[in-house]
Amino acid sequence: MKLLQGVAWIAVGVSLLAPDAAFARKPNYDESLVKPYTLEDPLTFVDGRKVQKAEEWPARRREILEIFAREMYGQPPPPPETVATELIEEGSTLDGLGIRRQYKMWFKADKSGPMIDWLVFLPNRIQDLSPTKKGKVPTCENKQKVPVILFLNYRGNQELVTDPEVVFPTNIWVRNNKSLNCEDHKPDFEKTRGRQRRTGGTSVFPLETILARGYAVMSACYGQVSPDVEERDVKAGTPRETAYTGVFTLWPPRDESRDDNTTALGAWAWALSRGLDLAERIPEIDAAKSVATGCSRLAKTALLAAARDERFAVCVPNQTGGGGVPLAKRDYGENVSTEMSMFHHWYCKAYNKYIDNEQAMKFDQHLLVASIAPRHLLVQGFNSGWFDTKGEFLSCRAASPVWEFLGLPGLPEGGFPANYDTGCIGTYLGYVRRGGQHGISGYDWMWTLDFADRAFGRAAK
């Protein structure tokens, strides 16, 4: 009952937050009202030519990414002038079972301008680094490099662990939340330390399990990349242009005559790729075995980052919601109208023309899903109408022929699976859903690690 009430509240909240002129219609939560729609063939070029052989897929993939850059997510940001990093702290964690490292990252050679704090954890199975062993150098002595999971977090690295050494972010914008003592976008960081280690939340970070499975972890706060200024923040007095500060100041000024300027989602995805740049410099990490993940808007971020950056070997977007994996043309749950009225900075202006007009789209999210091929993708959903997890499944089903065309297994056969049914998790493309609330749960982490193990040939035989 609480979950249903929450969904109803979301729907009411949407109608209150959205400008009347832009809010074309309320979200649809009735499957019987889903009208017939046509999806573009991911293996057919815009000019009508069919992709005839595997060697032609990269060209079609580039065409797909150009469509999304032009029509939805804006143009990708330019590469950085440089990626300068500095290790500012390292030590043991989890009574010596892990190594903690903290890095600062700049994008100018003189280390001026925007900066991002990265928190890194490495598994340690050899050297005894327990607190009782004074003077031990916190150097991970694993004989083999380890794969890495990368994600952006919402309110600062201190939320992930209780370690008092984890620094609070400085140049950060945090969404107001009275329950988290965050007002005027300035949170009480100490009260949020280790928040995702507590049992009362809907998202968890099981660091022990991840390290025990032999994975490194890297995370940074998306609020350091660029402010997430929603429409409700604008109505509360935050200038809309604040969304285009942070790393946006590294790039040429926005040209307001264009409909495809770089967006916040594009900036966050760009930052996730910069994390992979750092991973490539850490000797204990095998950056070729990388997993991009995240929840909600940061799941969209992970999906877009993996679509644009082929270095990400595995992508696991968790509960993306509209504008991520679900098919827009289904018009179920979140729609273009709600997206553009509430989260205008996530998408470019060109996307406005599809408000109450999804059927006019010459693309849909299954094409973005397909752009991950031939790499590995696991889509994770949950049962909220707003997030349309059935639309996620159908999107994966429509993208599956690309993996099959490339000679790889696609989405396993079968209809929309029940909660916790793992039958649709394939080796290259998978879908799974669960009950519960919005956030990354222990189930989600388990499925992520199992999927990555198979992708990297680490699964038990």
Domains of the chain, by residue range, sit at 1-71+313-461, 79-286
pLDDT tens, residue by residue, 93-146: 999 999 999 999 999 999 999 999 999 999 997 555 444 444 454 555 556 899
Average pLDDT over residues 157-174: 92
Q: Could you give the CA distance from residue 65 to residue 75 in angstroms, rounded to a whole number?
A: 10
431, 454, 460: which is closest to 147 by C-alpha? 454
Structure tokens given for 156: 């600062």
User: What DSSP character marks residue 60?
Assistant: H
Sign of the CA dihedral with 18 first, then 28, 431, and 50 last? negative
CA atoms within 13 A on the CB side of 375: 25
pLDDT tens, residue by residue, 376-414: 999 999 999 999 999 999 999 999 999 999 999 999 999
Instruction: Give the whole-number percent of the chain exceeding pLDDT 90.
Output: 81
Q: If you write DSSP's letter for every residue of 32-44 in order, what string do you get?
A: GGPPP-----TTB
Q: Is 275 exposed, middle or buried (0-12, 13-18, 19+ CB in 10 A)?
A: buried
Strands 98-106 and 84-93: antiparallel
Which of 65-69, 155-159, 201-205, 282-286 shows the lowest mean pLDDT across its residues? 201-205
Average pLDDT over residues 330-355: 96
Q: What are phi and psi of 164, to 5 degrees?
A: -70, -15
pLDDT for 23 equals 54
pLDDT tens, residue by residue, 7-43: 333 333 343 333 333 455 789 999 999 999 999 999 9
What are the residue ranges of helices labelled H in 236-374?
A: 264-279, 297-308, 336-342, 365-370
Instruction: Name the β-bridge partners of 294.
Output: 317
pLDDT for 21 equals 39
Residues 6+ apart with CB under 8 A from 92: 98, 99, 100, 124, 129, 130, 131, 136, 138
pLDDT for 188 equals 81
Rg of the chain in Å (alpha carbons): 21
pLDDT for 371 equals 98
pLDDT for 12 equals 34
Residue 1 pLDDT exceeds 80: no
CA atoms within 13 A on the CB side of 226: 29
Q: What are phi and psi of 98, to 5 degrees?
A: -140, 160
Q: What is the mean pLDDT of the chain?
A: 91
pLDDT tens, residue by residue, 190-219: 888 988 898 888 899 999 999 999 999 999
- Give the H/E segment covering residue 234: helix 231-235
Instruction: Name the β-bridge partners of 86.
Output: 104
What are the residue ranges of helices labelled H in 374-441?
A: 389-405
